[in-house]
Structure 1
């Protein structure tokens, strides 16, 4: 006969008493409730959490893609011919190198060193003679016989060789010497005023106990000459210098050299205003009969490095694409391939591949594609580590170069290689320049008809369907001179903005070609736009999705909490009923036992 229903021990869960551990009946309320709640979590919350994780992983991969695209954009920027003014330093093809050769066995650079700024015109110059170098005036005082330079050399009643106490004025700067001032202090007072006087003073000990002051102009050239014994340099009413011997050791002199038959004279040996962009540093005069040839030539090394940098940036993105589309042996995508089916990655890779494989229209010469300068596509085999794990999957269509062919192309056809990559614009009117452009430009040659008097601003061009004349949007310059001309959407000049720096009527023949660097830069700029760019749009969509998913997770957890509370109520009631039944059974058993005892 059953005297009680035996369950596990009681525990408190969320304010409710539930049984834990199986008793004689095998019932374990807590385990049952936990299992039911977990089933709800698995069915309704985990899929949402998994989607958040997938979104987060995708967002991380998109950030990596953005970084790689930014590297491609930066590399393309060095090759595209950045629009605007003073941008030569940003364009690899505008860098130049210099050389100086002589008609003798002596190195030309020992006479003149030449440097050139980016954008300097490649050409040659002739220096027929370096007549003289610029020199600074140098004067010395008489000898002061002293134990050391801290002894006094200024007196109120000066004798021969002494400075007199008083004030002198040089170029408006007053220098006051006091009786008892030492030689070092006199030098310090001259130097304190050197910024205004242009004269420095140094204490020099020629022999033991024999000191002199050496006065030197801070700048070379006759325009900076001085003479401390001349009223033209010094106002000395007190006779401060009257008893001091002053000797000129080196007179001021100007630099003189003959450049392309023109005599050039400057006060400095560093001359940067003779030819725009070039700096000549004179080292020594040339002997009679010695001539120098200065060469300014394109910097092949800088251009080549920029091209290689672009290739590396492109290849890094292709390797990333390969990892993101990597397959397992069973044909499924690898764990890390979170962008395997993503349109942004595929579109980006395909578009960039299209641009770098372009044959550029409108170019003259033999260079019109990467292949024509030794850059071709190849595939990289799969790479594994020592354990056989794939470190880099098979990668298609990366760029590789024939180093010799690339170097030869740059050496022999530098301008053609430059135009393969950069935006090139020509015009028979110097007042016309390009300000901005996009990849929508669809014509290489056009003619502008500009007549501000009749408000005529038109472009005429020909394409496969014939000749077309279209209007340009013209905006007057705020300066009152010139116009901003913009190609209208839907025309072959769409996105092209030109500056016309004149108010005169003109017919202008112009040409434009867009190289690979410019095309890639414009494409990646749109792709990376923080508002409308494809990467930003997808990142924003992921953020929105995760926000909604988190709300759904919160709602589901709230529903599950309610479900758990309901279960606790039901099982608590069940346990109370079982407890009451046990009490009743115990009472019944006691009565039976009492009756059995009485009958005995």
Structure 2
């Protein structure tokens, strides 16, 4: 007798496995006088269920392929976002402190003539968009703060014994009444004065002359302002401590208040502080010491070439990472077929993006090309960068480099200046400006449509959602007129606009493909789940049916054994 055991099918789903657990395995043996036959129910069930689940297996293979493609598109999306980030600072020619343009970054070169060290006499900070130019500076007088001192107190922690109120402040500022009680020490008085420094601009400190000699010092926290004090009521505390004399004047002046006096480009100027930010826009001076007669400091504010070089280098790095990825998706095997890892092989969207980036890199504007930026292609079309070439071009033709890389906008009238622009504005349009009888700007329209711009005083802003969004102008005219605006998008501006739009995780073309594939996967998964569920039910029914067959065969075998035994008994008798 041969025994056959049923096992779970390797292709059955979780649902079918569960159903199988409700039916016992079928062991079948039939015998005859001349042969023996075994029926393998599991093989029959597996083959029939596999026929049902074959389509689901094919669907799941498609889902896996889609998921791989989604991951590839997301990698491409991320690489293009990196390109957009690196190209952004090179895409704008707008020179202001808010533009974020690499061309707005400033640097200064400082030198000196005569018997003075530039770094010892002057420190500077320069904001983006500061006006460029060469300047000469001499410093005649450093601004100083008023400082006075009192007479000796033997113990700074002992009670002073004064009970009175005095006012304290600086000339031109606010004064505060300082109240003193008889149990206060010199240290207590200093604390009370310093608690009001933010209002009075006067700081107090204690100088220890010896172990039994302490003196109160009052110092203005602003330059070129005299300390002002007066007795208000009770004991005259300032006079008692020797800060003022009997007439109320300061008894011992350590330093008088003076203004800073300096000459910039031949113009003598006076300021109350050594930190000066209102002479050259975007430039802050810190005057440190006077310049001797016959000496001067020269400084040159200029566009920071290093910032531009660094920005181009970052764009090259981002582009090469993107190009390497595209190249990996074009790999073929030795037999000429697409490599299994090249899941975007032949993808039209990736090919179109690469073509547009390549077209931008091959742009030529004003007679300049990427060769003037120190850029060239290697054998795999990756970019190589020679920064020394770019530095030379920046030195000889900065405006040409800006035009080649950034979006530039020009107007046909000096009355209309450009405040801001988008990375891809319209190439050319005429803006019609209307002014009322009082000379106030009332509307700005293109082709008779005034909804394309909003007016705020003299400022004209492109309406959100329109092709002029991101553009802003300032109008200084007093009459109605039509002005032509022309725009040119340079290499970095073209790449930035393309990469930003394509990599957008809400509306970009890659996101559309990703969303479509995910939707397709959801639909396919529902179909596969339906097929597998039906197959599990079918498998459970087969097991029940074959179990019934097995039971019938076992009954027949039992009857056959009984009849055989009965016949054998008759023969024996």
TM-score between both structures, scaled by the size of structure 2: 0.86
Q: How does 1:152-301 map to 2 (within 5 A)?
A: 152=159, 154-155=160-161, 164-170=162-168, 171-222=174-225, 225-228=226-229, 231=230, 235-246=232-243, 247-301=252-306
The equivalent residue for 1:60 is 71
Q: Quote the offset at 1:289 in angstroms.
A: 1.5
Whole-Å separation in 1 of the counterparts to 2:482 and 2:164: 74
* SS of equivalent to 1:204: strand
The equivalent residue for 2:414 is 429
Distance 1:319 1:485, change over 3 A: closer
* SS of equivalent to 2:37: coil
Q: Quote the offset at 1:457 in angstroms.
A: 7.2
The equivalent residue for 1:151 is 158
Contact 2:105 2:128 survives alignment (8 Å):
yes
Contact 2:69 2:343 survives alignment (8 Å):
yes
Distance 1:433 1:555, change over 3 A: same
Q: How does 1:339-358 map to 2 (within 5 A)?
A: 339-358=344-363
The equivalent residue for 1:141 is 150
Whole-Å separation in 2 of the counterparts to 1:516 and 1:277: 29
Q: Note the alpha carbon deviations across 1:53-93, whole angstroms, 9 max, x for none.
A: 111111111111111101110111010117697424x1111
The equivalent residue for 2:404 is 420
Whole-Å separation in 2 of the counterparts to 1:480 and 1:203: 56
- 5+ residue gaps, structure 1: 156-163, 380-395, 460-469
Q: Quote the offset at 1:585 in angstroms.
A: 0.7
Distance 1:10 1:435, change over 3 A: closer
Whole-Å separation in 2 of the counterparts to 1:215 and 1:437: 56
The counterpart of 1:36, out of the listed 9, 32, 48, is 48
The equivalent residue for 1:328 is 333
- Of structures 1 and 2, the one with the larger relative CO (CA 8 A, separation 6+) is 2
Q: Note the alpha carbon deviations across 1:285-314, whole angstroms, 9 max, x for none.
A: 111111222211111111100011111111
Q: Note the alpha carbon deviations across 1:338-394, whole angstroms, 9 max, x for none.
A: 11122222111111111111112xx3xx5x211123211112xxxxxxxxxxxxxxx
Whole-Å separation in 2 of the counterparts to 1:82 and 1:417: 10
Q: Quote the offset at 1:523 in angstroms.
A: 1.6
* SS of equivalent to 1:526: helix
Distance 1:482 1:401, change over 3 A: closer
Alignment length (residue pairs): 538
The equivalent residue for 2:120 is 110
* SS of equivalent to 2:511: helix
Q: Quote the offset at 1:9 in angstroms.
A: 5.5
The equivalent residue for 2:318 is 313
Contact 2:105 2:307 survives alignment (8 Å):
yes
Query: Which stretch of structure 1 is more off in the superposition, 28-37 or 95-104?
Result: 28-37
1:534 aligned onto 2:543: no
* SS of equivalent to 1:67: helix
Whole-Å separation in 2 of the counterparts to 1:22 and 1:114: 101
* SS of equivalent to 2:383: strand
Distance 1:82 1:61, change over 3 A: farther
Contact 1:165 1:179 survives alignment (8 Å):
yes
Whole-Å separation in 1 of the counterparts to 2:179 and 2:445: 74
Whole-Å separation in 2 of the counterparts to 1:434 and 1:350: 32
Contact 2:95 2:101 survives alignment (8 Å):
no
Distance 1:137 1:506, change over 3 A: same
* SS of equivalent to 1:341: coil
Contact 2:194 2:202 survives alignment (8 Å):
yes
Q: Quote the offset at 1:452 in angstroms.
A: 5.6
Contact 1:474 1:483 survives alignment (8 Å):
no
Whole-Å separation in 1 of the counterparts to 2:118 and 2:62: 71
* SS of equivalent to 1:219: coil
Q: Quote the offset at 1:250 in angstroms.
A: 0.6
* SS of equivalent to 2:262: strand
Contact 1:199 1:218 survives alignment (8 Å):
yes
Contact 1:100 1:113 survives alignment (8 Å):
no
Q: Quote the offset at 1:22 in angstroms.
A: 8.1
The counterpart of 1:71, out of the listed 71, 78, 82, is 82
* SS of equivalent to 1:139: strand
The equivalent residue for 1:552 is 527
Whole-Å separation in 2 of the counterparts to 1:173 and 1:227: 10
Distance 1:508 1:279, change over 3 A: same
Whole-Å separation in 2 of the counterparts to 1:496 and 1:559: 57
* SS of equivalent to 1:337: coil
Distance 1:497 1:34, change over 3 A: same
TM-score between both structures, scaled by the size of structure 1: 0.82
The equivalent residue for 1:462 is none
